[in-house]
Amino acid sequence: MTDQQTLADATASELPEGPDLLYSEPEDDLRAAVRSLLADRGGPAAVLAELEAGRTHDAALWRSLATDIGAAGLLVPEKLGGQGAGPREAAVVLEELGRAVTPVPYLTSAVLAVTALLGCDTGQDEVARLLAALAAGERIGVLALPLPTAPAGPLEPPVRAGADGALLGTVASVADAAAADVLLVPVRAADGIELYAVDTDAPGLHIETVTPLDLTRPLARVTFDGAAGRRLAGSDRAGAAVRRALLTGAGLLASEQLGIAEWCLTELVEYTKQRHQFGRPVGSFQALKHRMAALWLEVVSARAAARNAADALATDSADAPVAVAVAQAYCAPVAVRAAEECLQLHGGIGMTWEHPVHVFLKRAKSDEIALGAPGRHRASLAELVDLTAP
Amino acid sequence: MTAETTARPVDAEELRRRTAELLAAHPPATTERLDFLRARFAAGLAWVHFPEGLGGLGAPRALQAVVDEELAAAGAPDNDPGRIGIGLGMAAPTILRYGTEEQRQRFLPPLWTGEEVWCQLFSEPGAGSDLAGLATRAVRDGDSWVVDGQKVWTSGAHKSRWAILIARTDPDAPKHRGITYFLCDMTDPGVEVRPLRQITGEAEFNEVFLTGVRIPDSRRLGEVGEGWKVAQTTLMNERVAIGGNRIPREGGMIGVAAADWRERPELRTHDLHQRLLRLWVEAEVARLTGERLRQQLIQGQPGPEGSGMKLSFARLAQEISGWEVEFLAEDGLTYDSWTHTGSDVLSFTGREAGYRYLRAKGNSIEGGTSEVLLNIVAERVLGLPSEPRTDKDVAWKDLPR
């Protein structure tokens, strides 16, 4: 008898069917395709070289990923020009993008912008056209909100629209704005928010890049100085659409964080097996081993939390807000700790620009703030699970 | 058994049919409990994954739930698994795997029905994490072995009829190779059981002194000198038994803490709130991790996650129970009773906060300390090199103690 059998015994239970926390075969195939594509590009070393050369957005890679593999349309139903898959599959793509710290606007365009558009009236021409273009990877769309915006926080966009659709206001820290063809702009209205589309070449739109902590996710300050916007959704649905986009983005970001943590742990274990000091591999010292074993357990746990969030979003479960908040509160710090441990246990080489760990550290730290820092997600949980503040 | 019944595949439907037959032949309302349990064992419905003739039908283990549900619905008695956990979870799988046919037939039926309770004689005062260093001696004398030594942390020793025992049979061999596994009769006059009072005030465990205990060679399990290998089957099952069951959200210690928070608003502080939310998230993720492991096992793709579940469980039980005592403030200063005698069934979430806090301290020690488990994860899962060792190829008798 094995421990596996003992645990399988636990099926004897009256609990309702739980979420599916595993990977399906098509999901494994998708992962293999994305991983192979990213490996062809050279992985973290190539990312570093691109960053050094000042190229933060890899357009050729985006075409391969978004169009050839079809990853940009995973969340979009086939009848709207997408692949008809869902958040579980997009999560797998994000795991791989995290593992390779790939500088592509996947989270921003294929997840956040696409989900916001899906929340609009897809029978409307402009919405359907945009959605099809984003799903095909032909155009890149970005939601014009500061990257740290949390799904459950107050939604008070700093942009207003004139009667003629001319937009006024400034949004800071918009991720991937410089790579975008179109911005989806939440605009403050008298009775909530509305959603507008603005082409990035429109007169009256200024996109100023800023120097980001994480070079692989470029940030910009976007100023609307009378740029012409086309209204995609009114206050009857725009608020819900944007919130759903933020919830989906936050939930799937956990999978990117998982990918980051996995790379860091794998790299760390390989390095400490090879690196000799005091006449033995440093990975044989208990003081280091225990830290890596503890990190492994956190990565294993992060996988369960991330899969749970992806599944809750995919099944449109009523539990999705809890699942997403748990995943973000848990996975964000795990990615950061994995990168920090990876750096520390490498010793001096970990502190060099030459070694790729700093790219993962910067992505992990920036991801921790993105779509709500862990504390914000714990604060949402306090309300959701009835553990109210004093 | 007729040819017709053996030809049928043992699936859920077949198990329901056989359960119905059992219930018809032995109606629970008019059948003595023990008679019913014996009949259930004979029908192969005790543990369906065990072989035919030993209480099972060679069916997939997951199908046990089908039988259990049908029997519970019919009001049939169970074998009180909480009372005989060591027998069911540790002795039985080891006897099944390494026992002779005679040993299996002799020991498994009364073990499962609970007629004979089992305990474990493994740990010693000088052999805890380094269990293979154990010093209890078994010396061959004709058809028997004579055993002398001291064992510790034995739960239920005074209520047990049998014990699984490992003892040193060859002090000249390196430590892992000189051990043999026995089935020890706890009613033997050389067996003395003394309760061991622990920090909770109760005596959940015992010390067991073995003085000239004679064990017939027919109660040896596995080959002479192979006891360490045999014991791995036992220990693997122990580690899983602590911390591997499916639980609902807020099902464990965190549920108790969350209930306290909801019921005692006057005790809330911001600091305790922040810490509770962190613990709640970690407990929920640990639950999901266990659930994911369970799903992998059902699909027949076991992952190494099981090695880590006990680590999470122990740390969370300790942190949450510590949080709870602090949250309860003045109530946290009191203790229900230092003379509590304890119940037959251990509950980590039972009694009051102080007890839970103190009992949880054992979670990171019993069944493998967290430090040893971290080594196991590091070496067996991550493949990190082991520490240089000086004790592996030396005769046990020459090791410093």
| A338-390 pLDDT, tens digit each | 999 999 999 999 999 999 999 999 999 999 999 999 999 999 999 999 999 99
B58, B44 Cβ separation under 8 angstroms: no
- For the cut 90, the answer to whether the pLDDT of residue A87 exceeds it is yes
Say yes or no: domain B243-365 is CATH 2.60.60: no
Neighbour-count burial of B187, counting CB atoms closer than 10 A to its CB (0-12 exposed, 13-18 middle, 19+ buried): exposed
B347-359 per-position pLDDT tens digit: 677 789 999 999 9
Q: A135 burial class (0-12, 13-18, 19+ CB within 10 angstroms)?
A: buried
Least confident of A44-48, A288-292, B136-140: A44-48
Structure confidence at residue A6 as a pLDDT band (50, 70, 90):
very low
Give the pLDDT score at A52.
Answer: 76
pLDDT band of B299, cuts 50, 70, 90: confident
Q: How far is A142 from chain B (nearest CA, A)?
A: 31
Q: What percent of chain A has pLDDT over 70?
A: 96
pLDDT score, position B233: 84
Is the Cβ pair A387, B280 closer than 8 Å?
Answer: yes
Please tell me the distance from the alpha carbon of residue A28 to that of residue B85, in angstroms, as a whole number. 39
pLDDT score for A342? 98
Reported as a single tens digit per residue, the pLDDT across A122-148 is 999 999 999 999 999 999 999 999 999
Looking at per-residue confidence, does B246 or A223 come out higher?
Answer: A223
Q: 58-77 in B: which are within 8 Å (CB) of A?
A: 61-62, 64-65, 68-69
pLDDT of residue A147: 98
Could you tell me the pLDDT band of residue A11, with boundaries at 50, 70 and 90? Answer: very low
Task: Give the containing element (helix H, strand E) for B193.
Answer: strand B191-196
Average pLDDT over residues B124-144: 96
**What is residue B4's predicted lDDT score, i.e. its pLDDT?**
46
Asked whether the beta carbons of residue A296 and residue B377 sit closer than 8 angstroms, the reply is yes
Measured between beta carbons, which residues in chain A are less than 8 angstroms from residue B61? 5, 8-9
pLDDT digits (tens, 9 = 90+) for B52-69: 999 999 998 878 888 999
Give me the residue from B62, B277, B297 closest to A382, CB to CB: B277
Rounded to whole angstroms, the Cα distance separating A362 from A356 reads 10
Contact A73, A83 (CB under 8 A): yes
**Beta pairing partners, A195:** A186, A233
Element (H, E) at B354: helix B353-360
- Of B378, B377, B328, residue with least CA distance to B356: B328
Mean pLDDT of B15-30: 96
Of A216-220, A306-310, B8-12, the one with minimum mean pLDDT is B8-12
Task: Tell me how far the alpha carbon of residue B268 is from its chain's centroid.
Answer: 38
Quickly list H helices, B3-79: 3-7, 12-25, 33-42, 64-73
Residues of chain A in contact with residue B278, where contact means CB-CB under 8 angstroms, are 329, 378
- Tell whether the model's pLDDT for residue B305 goes beyond 90: no
Confidence bin at B242 (pLDDT 50/70/90): very low
Q: Which among B273, B280, B281 is the top mutation candidate for probing chain A, defined by the most A β-carbons within 10 Å of its own β-carbon?
A: B281
Instruction: Determine contact: B281 vs chain A, CB below 8 A.
Output: yes
The mean pLDDT of chain B is 91
Residue B211 has pLDDT above 90, yes or no: yes
Q: What is the mean pLDDT of residues B140-152?
A: 97
- A145-163 confidence digits (pLDDT tens): 999 999 998 899 999 999 8
Rounded-to-integer distance, Cα A219 and Cα A213, Å:
9
Confidence grade of residue B2 (pLDDT, cut at 50, 70, 90):
very low
The verdict on whether B21 is a catalytic residue reads: no
Confidence at residue A331, expressed as pLDDT on a 0 to 100 scale = 98
pLDDT per residue as tens digits for the range B163-205: 999 999 999 999 999 999 999 999 999 999 999 999 999 888 9
The answer to whether B297 contacts chain A (CB < 8 Å) is yes
* B268 CA: distance to closest CA in chain A (Å): 5
* Chain pair A-B, CB pairs under 8 angstroms: 185
End-to-end Cα, chain A, rounded Å: 50
User: Distance between CA A189 and CA B370 in Å, rounded?
Assistant: 56
Residue found under tokens 């959200």 = B249
**Averaged pLDDT, A74-96:** 98
Q: Is A224 on the interface with B (CB under 8 A)?
A: no
pLDDT at A138: 96
Neighbour-count burial for B372-393, b at 16+ CB within 10 Å, e otherwise: ebbbbbbbebbebbeeeeeeee
Mean pLDDT of A26-39: 96
Q: Does residue B208 register a pLDDT over 60?
A: yes
Interface test with A, best of B261, B295, B380 (most A CBs within 10 A): B295
Tens of pLDDT along A244-266? 999 999 999 999 999 999 999 99
Report which of A33, A42, A332, A52 is spatially closest to residue A216, judged by C-alpha positions: A52
What local confidence, expressed as pLDDT, does residue A172 receive? 97
Domain residue extents for chain B: 3-78, 88-225, 243-365
What is the reported pLDDT for B346?
A: 63
Interatomic CA distance for residues B84 and B329, integer angstroms: 37
- Reply yes or no on whether the pLDDT at A9 is more than 50: no
Measured between alpha carbons, how far is residue B56 from residues A240, A314, B50 in Å? 55, 40, 4
Mean pLDDT, all residues of chain A: 93
Task: Please count the other Cβ atoms lying within 10 Å of the Cβ belonging to residue B262.
Answer: 12
The fraction of chain A above a pLDDT of 90, given in percent, is 88
Nearest to B260 by CA among B357, B123, B137, B143: B357
Nearest Cα to A182, choosing from A146, A157, A207, A158?
A: A207
- Measured between alpha carbons, how far is A374 from A368 in angstroms, rounded to an integer? 7
Q: Which domains does chain A have, with CATH numbers?
A: 21-139 (1.10.540.10), 142-235 (2.40.110.10), 240-384 (1.20.140.10)
pLDDT at A273 over 70: yes
Q: Is residue A15 pLDDT above 70, yes or no?
A: no
pLDDT value at position A383?
A: 97
pLDDT value for B61: 82
Q: What's the mean pLDDT in B351-373?
A: 93
Q: What is the CATH number of domain B88-225?
A: 2.40.110.10
Contact assessment for residue A336 and residue A120, using Cβ atoms and an 8 Å cutoff: no
* Predicted local distance difference test score (pLDDT) of residue A27: 98
